Structure 1
Amino acid sequence: MTASELPRTVAVIGTGVIGNGWIARALAAGCRVTAFDLDPTAAERTRAFVARAWPALERLGLADNADQHALTFVDSLAAAVEGAELIQENVPERLEIKRATLAELDALAAPEVVIGSSTSGIKPSDLQSACTKAPGRVIVAHPFNPVYLLPLVELVGGEHTSPAVTERAKAQYAAMGMRPLVVRREIEGHVADRLMEALWREALHLVNDGVATTEEVDAAVVYGCGLRWSLMGTFLTFHLAGGDGGMRHMLHQFGPALKLPWTKLEAPELTEELIDKVADGCEHQAAGRSVAELETRRDAFLTELLELTQKYWPEAEGLQSRI
């Protein structure tokens, strides 16, 4: 991607964990950021967040003009979007709040400016429904926590979105170091969250039924499938499981087992007993470490893992052209 595709100014609306992650990533890419949040303590929280994230970003590589202080908090949506070349919305995951916020952003921003919503599950056509100026530029741009390290962003257009808007968004997010995945058609939960939710529901059943503790479930992922998934994903992992015959042989040999009742895709009832099991298990795993300490440990691991993944998966550089 060329420097011209990098948005010079990014407006970030809502500065919770995800919004702050977008801010850190944009600053590291050399963008200026204008931010808006109703919380009067937001600016202080955000600047502390960016300072904590900066060492990991430095290790991965900053843009020549990256500046963690190129951040301005403003007191209105109008001030936030003025001059912005990309807008990222991160307000609470409630359709009525997002719809109203996006309608206001659509009315304020120049019609060619892409407005991405970080929603993890709402379809873009529903987000666009109250917009009257340029609804097609309102799209889903769903990242993953921590946004400043994990590169995937799912881009989903709605009924009013043209291919040109999607291509513009794809270029802008890629210029910020993201790996855009253009989802072929809109669906609740998009792609990655639907996969993670399936595993999450099954994990809750295993804990609820006394088959495994939270620590044992996590160990099964960390030391088993997770290691392979970080390089190959789901399908290529199973392709290797078929030996020389690849996926075709694997499906013929093991495919019938998919009909066996091994999994329970509906979530178990969230009883107080299950909540206690899960919460107590996680607190035991945390072993007295604060969330901030665990985040620092996570970031150190992810930076090394990203470096390793890039070393062994150089063909990922060409992924954009195949999506």
Structure 2
Amino acid sequence: MKEKVATAKLERQVIKSMRNYLEKERFMEIFPPKIVRASGACENIDTLFEIGVNGDFYWFRSKTPHRAYLSQTAQLYLEAFVPYLKKVYSVGPSFRAEPGNDNRHMTEFTMLEIEFAGNFKELLGYIEKVIYNVVKDILSLPAKIKKELKFNSATLKRLKKVKPVFPKITYEKAIKILNLSFGDDIKWRDEQKLLKKFGNQPLLITHYPNPLFNHGKEIEVEKFFNMIPDPENPKYVLSADLILPVSGEAVGAAQRVHRFEELKERLKNSKMFKRLEEKGGSLDDFYWYFEKVKEKSVPHAGCGFGISRILKFLKGEEDIKKAVAFPSNQENII
């Protein structure tokens, strides 16, 4: 139990550090719903947990009966507040029906998400500052507290090497280094190869393929529908993933499309929406979001920090189940 207590304390320390930084930067915390329509889904809509009552999956009947799910992301709910509050964030659980039992995925984990009125360059800066502040705050803790959190000298030495500005590489350059084909997904082993090349520093991979651009072939990489195309090269979107040593992808980020008609077309033509229709969903699942966009929208950007993967990186744990106090997957629920 001592290990669990230390892990719980570290989870608190990480969230506290992130909150302190964001509050200092005038972000306001929002408390989005956790039972949602498909507007609370990430791009992999097949991993949604569906909510039913006594076998009735159309229990919610606000206007017409519709299906409900456990939330995977608060992104769209946060976006709705950006035109009015400028900078917002939330902390809460994300539920993913990830099959099996491996050392990197869980069915429930904590996400800290931010959305703000701003651009892609500012977004990358916030990602660097949030993560660097977490590391800096841990290193500045009294020796007694570090010991309580089970940080040994080797782990602390590794964290001291983290620099305030992270190396950055485009998807196009990354696949050339890895000898992958355009459109291939960058897997965990590929991520570790890239990290080694960049001195095992946190690494930002940017400018992923635009999922709605005609690339002349099917692409494996899949990104959320409302990522904005790069104005200099619409073959790509203004998106980024933060890759952490040991852990892999820990943050997904992008500047968002904020014009209603473009947003609606991107959703309708996305793989995500095709799968939603197969599950019985429709544009009505996003009705409330579209109404908010039509009411008022501004250029904005945001990201989601996967706390369990950040903890995995901080502790140097190979198995994500050892990085959190209450791990859960398809084979383990309490």
Q: For the superposition of Structure 1 and Structure 2, which TM-score range results when normalised by the shorter chain?
A: under 0.3
Q: Which has the higher contact order (CA 8 A, sep 6+)?
A: 2
- When the two structures are superposed, what TM-score results if normalisation uses the length of structure 1? 0.27
Kindly name which structure, 1 or 2, has the bigger radius of gyration based on alpha carbons: 1
More helix by share: 1
